[in-house]
Amino acid sequence: MAKNAVDSAVFVPKKKFSMKKTMKNNMGFFFILPWLIGFLVFRLYPFASSLVYSFTDFHLFNGINETGLMNYQEIFTSDKILKALKVTFKYSFITVPLKLTAALFIAYILNFKIKGVNLFRTAYYIPSILGGSVAIAVLWKAIFRDDGLVNTMLGFFGIEGPHWLSDPKYAIFIICLLRVWQFGSAMVIFLAALKNVPEELYEAASIDGAGKWRQFFKITVPMITPVIFYNLVTQLCQAFQEFNGPYIITHGGPRNSTTLMSLLVYNSAFQSHEMGLASAMAWVMFIIVMILTGIAFWSQKHWVYYSDSDGR
């Protein structure tokens, strides 16, 4: 009996302690509760309801009168929507590779012991921080007007510049260029990754007689593939949702050559109030982005190198 009493006397505080610990751990739940509520109300519910809306003819003022697959049928038969899909792919597949190449190339040069590296980094980074603003879109319009900065410059060399923004051949590239110009944030991420590539690898390679270009492709690029992968996925997600540039600079024109899917989603939801159709288009976009992200994740094992020490 006495022994038991001692046992329990020892045991009880221990139990109390672990209970206290569990209780303390469960308090964590209260800290994340606001986020959980926000997630359910402002993320999950809209996300799920838009899938439901996509199977209806939900009109903001007339409500729902019909349900079915008609929105999806329309998406895959309407020339306008199919063209917007094509333009969105074109836009993304031009912008993302150019942006990443520029970012990596400049980061690579900056990574040599360059004097004034901070100054250059700042200069390259400013467009990224301001680029999303309407002000910069307005500036872009001023630069690429028929008599804008670029054509005035070309004029000095006796070249008559094209109608950048009103010629369907060029307008999309001007919209792409606005985003490529903002390669600074990707560059800063690359630069941080490059600093982590061990110096010994380069030394060993140059003893073996590998030139700078060989070193770049055989050492630098493989060592930072995780970061290339990260930048690729985030930039792709972003490119597919591009809205401000084409909306402000070209209004989707000329002849719908810069009408990206996000513009069509906006137009059908907030101009013609066809919420059902807009939801369906958004879901098609979402699925495309998911598939591309999935491909990127799946392809990782073929080209992304994860070192053991740096498990990113």
Partner 1 sequence: MSLKTRKIIATILKYAVLLFVGLFMVYPLLWMISATFKSNNEIFAGVGLFAKEPTLDGYKKAFQGFGGDINLVKSLINTYSYVIPKVVFTVISAVITAYGFGRFQFKGRNFLFAVLMGTLFLPQVVLNVPQFILFNRLGWVDSPLYLPIIVPTLFAVDTYFVFMLIQFLRNVPRELEEAAEIDGCNVIQTLVKVIVPMLKPAIVSCALFQFMWSSNDFMGPLLYVSTPSRYPASYFVKLSMDADNGFQWNRVLAVSLISILPSLIVFFCAQSTFVDGITAGGVKG
Residues numbered 93 to 122 that lie near partner 1 (CB under 8 A) are 102, 106, 109-110, 112, 114, 120-122
Stretch touching partner 1 by CB under 8 A, among 6-14, 28-36, 62-70, 217-225:
28-36
Stretch touching partner 1 by CB under 8 A, among 4-12, 69-77, 265-273, 301-309:
265-273
Q: Does 306 bind partner 1 (CB under 8 A)?
A: no
Residue 94 or 177: which CB sits closer to partner 1?
A: 177
Q: Does 27 bind partner 1 (CB under 8 A)?
A: yes
Stretch touching partner 1 by CB under 8 A, among 2-10, 73-81, 158-166, 188-196:
188-196
Q: Does 17 bind partner 1 (CB under 8 A)?
A: no
Residues in the interface with partner 1 (CB under 8 A) total: 94
DSSP of the chain:
-HHHHHHHHHHHHHHHHHHHHHHHHHHHHHHHHHHHHHIIIIIIHHHHHHHHHTTB--BTTTB---BSSHHHHHHHH-HHHHHHHHHHHHHHHHHHHHHHHHHHHHHHHHHTT-TTHHHHHHHHHHHHHHTTSHHHHHHHHHHHSTTSHHHHHHHHTT-----TTTSHHHHHHHHHHHHHTTTHHHHHHHHHHHHTS-HHHHHHHHHTT--HHHHIIIIIHHHTHHHHHHHHHHHHHHHHT--HHIIIIITT-STTTT--HHHHHHHHHHTS-BHHHHHHHHHHHHHHHHHHHHHHHHHHHHH----SSS--
Q: Does 47 bind partner 1 (CB under 8 A)?
A: yes
Report 214-233 residues binding partner 1 (CB under 8 A).
227, 230
Q: Which of 12, 19, 153, 204 binds partner 1 (CB under 8 A)?
A: 153
Stretch touching partner 1 by CB under 8 A, among 6-14, 62-70, 76-84, 284-292:
284-292
d(CA 69, CA 83): 20
d(CA 283, CA 293): 15
Q: Does 238 bind partner 1 (CB under 8 A)?
A: yes
Q: Which of 8, 49, 65, 73 binds partner 1 (CB under 8 A)?
A: 49
Q: Least distance from C-beta 121 to partner 1, angstroms?
A: 7
d(CA 71, CA 48): 17
Q: Does 286 bind partner 1 (CB under 8 A)?
A: yes
Q: Least distance from C-beta 100 to partner 1, angstroms?
A: 14
Q: Does 45 bind partner 1 (CB under 8 A)?
A: yes
Residue 121 or 170: which CB sits closer to partner 1?
A: 121
Q: Which residue has the tokens 């390669």?
A: 183
Q: Does 132 bind partner 1 (CB under 8 A)?
A: yes
Residue 125 or 202: which CB sits closer to partner 1?
A: 125
Q: Does 78 bind partner 1 (CB under 8 A)?
A: no
Q: Does 240 bind partner 1 (CB under 8 A)?
A: yes
